[in-house]
Amino acid sequence: MNKQLISDAQSHKGLVRKLNEDACLDMADSGVWLVADGMGGHAAGDIASQLVVDTLRMAVQRAAEPSVQLLTNALQQANAELYRYSEQHLSGNTAGSTVVVLLIDKWHYHFMWAGDSRGYILRNGVLRQLTRDHSQVNDMVDEGLLSSDEAETHELANVITRAVGVDNEVTVDVVSGVWQSGDLFLLCSDGLNKELSDAEISQYLTHTNLAEANRALLHSCLVAGARDNVTSVLVRVENASAEVSEKDKTIPLNLRK
């Protein structure tokens, strides 16, 4: 059965920050998407996120076919380059970036990530976060010291425990599954999920037009104050016969399930 990948990507500096330190990548023809969030309290966050995007883009362009191993290796390469950049140019300061990557291949989806940029799946009307934030408050939740609700507003909510470029090595987590026609995937920086709850996000994702759904997410973040940069990428897998808006970006993959 022929499939289509429909995607829409957007990034906005928000209403408080002077610079947009987020970056995103939409390579629908290769089945690869990425969101990177340059670390706000560090030097050269915008350089860090763009370096991550550029490194993965070049790796995908050079490869016959992208894979989890290829993308993980590219993230390790970006980590090494950022680490060297900080040592040589930033006088002891650190340029770092969180990252979440989505790969959709013939049968499976794969999320790879480091930090608190998130990956979600909406399936049969139910939104689930598939990534796990690498953050201090999330560790405290796992240890039973905080509830999930308390973690969202905790004073340490912005402290992450893993990112690209911070240490000489980075561990990239991976979660995979079999995709189904109709699945909708969301990649986002924390500027989105810190303004909107998962329930609010889920409501907007029911819109049949992917681009309109993404704009509605951004608009709601701006209405809520958009205290951070906001980046979101939506990806939907559909039957080739499904009607697609001209505003949506459609790439036929000739996949069979």
**Residue 176 pLDDT level (bands cut at 50, 70, 90):** very high
Q: Which helix (H) or strand (E) holds 153?
A: helix 148-153
Range in 15-19, 40-44, 76-80, 167-171 with the lowest mean pLDDT? 40-44
3-252 CATH fold: Phosphatase 2c; domain 1 (3.60.40)
| pLDDT recorded at residue 241 | 52
Q: Tell me the whole-structure pTM to 2 decimals.
A: 0.90
Look at 6 and 154; give whichever has higher pLDDT. 6
- The string over 190-228, giving b where at least 16 C-beta atoms fall within 10 Å of a residue's C-beta and e elsewhere, is bbbbbbbeeeebbbbbeeebbbebbbebbebbeeeebeb
pLDDT tens-place string over residues 96-112: 999 999 999 999 999 99
Higher-confidence residue of 179 and 241: namely 179
Domain boundaries, the chain: 3-252
Confidence of residue 252 (pLDDT cuts 50, 70, 90): very low
Q: Average pLDDT over the chain, rounded to whole? A: 89
Tens of pLDDT, residues 2-14: 679 999 999 999 9
Cα 98 to Cα 2, 39, 116, 151, 228, distances in angstroms: 34, 7, 6, 19, 14
**76 pLDDT higher than 80:** yes
Q: Per residue in 191-210, pLDDT tens?
A: 999 999 999 999 999 888 99
Cross-strand partners of 238: 4
> Which class for 54: exposed (0-12), middle (13-18), buried (19 or more C-beta within 10 A)?
middle
* Residue of 102, 95, 82, 83 lying closest to 25 (CA atoms): 102
